[in-house]
A and B are shown apart, each in its own frame.
Chain A
């Protein structure tokens, strides 16, 4: 008896091309929009809004990002500082690190991300701590508020 071998084999395969096309398009979309710089932003901080806020035009030579929570404690480099005086040592180390990368004190931008209901006195204390270690360029970070919003 003759056995037709080809009959046992047939496999019905859908055309995967459109699905793969779409999937790659989606991946490209998310890759373009993902912003890894947000990693260092603290989720606990709700920034105040300002209609004049504009993203900075140029990136500073070296930046130090300080997040201040509503209770006045500061998050810096993954550590929480309840006593602001304790921050001096960490800032001094950061400045030495910047100097090793050929940045001067004038090149260092201190970006303060303070919670909208944090006390201004605490923010000024933080600025004072930075001034004690001779930092002088500060950026007060705010959320961009559109005219309609």
Chain B
């Protein structure tokens, strides 16, 4: 018997891929165009309710706050760091050293000091924001050699400024 369609086994039912590839490339181009590598961002949390006579007595820390004055020069850079009336120059590292000494050695005593102590920043109006962040970084903790963060003071507030 003669087999008519000897080539039938060879004929494959093939899908038309063109439209799918079109869409896939459109998607690829979209993602490539919108993709942007950005640095990771983090937060310093500050809880600052409006001071009022009612809650003054509630959240008041047991110890006096550490007062840090940040003075600005004419272009907004740091001119002087004053901690509890004592000048620390312009180095945030000396501020960090002071804070570490204030907190004491790691242990329950340090935890209590950190819990009870508030840091009050008194910043000049024209001071650059990045200088204040450097100050907050200095008092908030430090990175250890193993890249872990050793937390220090977290209760941070800003002294009210006269409005301009």
Which chain A residues have a beta carbon within 8 Å of chain B's beta carbons?
6, 16, 20, 23-24, 26-27, 30-31, 33-35, 38, 47-56, 111, 114-121, 123-125, 127-128, 131-132, 134, 136-144, 147
State which residues 33-88 of B face A: CB under 8 Å. 34-36, 38-50, 70, 76
Could you tell me if A117 and B7 are in contact, using CB atoms closer than 8 angstroms? no
In the complex where A131-B50, A132-B50, A143-B41 touch, is A23 in contact with B28 (Cβ < 8 A)? yes
CA distance A34 to B30 in the complex (A): 11
Residues from chain B with Cβ under 8 Å of A26 in the complex: 28, 31
Main secondary structure of the interface of B (DSSP, over half): mixed
Could you tell me if B7 and A140 are in contact, using CB atoms closer than 8 angstroms? no
A selection of 7 A-B contacts at a CB cut-off of 8 Å is: A23-B21, A27-B28, A31-B31, A52-B141, A116-B128, A131-B48, A140-B136
CA distance A4 to B127 in the complex (A): 88
In the complex where A54-B42, A144-B41 touch, is A119 in contact with B127 (Cβ < 8 A)? yes
State which residues 107-164 of B face A: CB under 8 Å. 123-134, 136-137, 140-143, 147, 149, 158, 160-161, 163-164
B interface residues, how many (CB within 8 angstroms): 53
Residues from chain A with Cβ under 8 Å of B141 in the complex: 52
In the complex where A23-B24, A34-B31 touch, is A142 in contact with B41 (Cβ < 8 A)? yes
Residues from chain A with Cβ under 8 Å of B142 in the complex: 52
CA distance A117 to B130 in the complex (A): 6
Residues from chain B with Cβ under 8 Å of A35 in the complex: 38
Q: Which residue of B lies closest to A131 (CB)?
A: B50
Q: Which residue of A lies closest to B140 (CB)?
A: A52
In the complex where A50-B44, A50-B133 touch, is A34 in contact with B35 (Cβ < 8 A)? yes
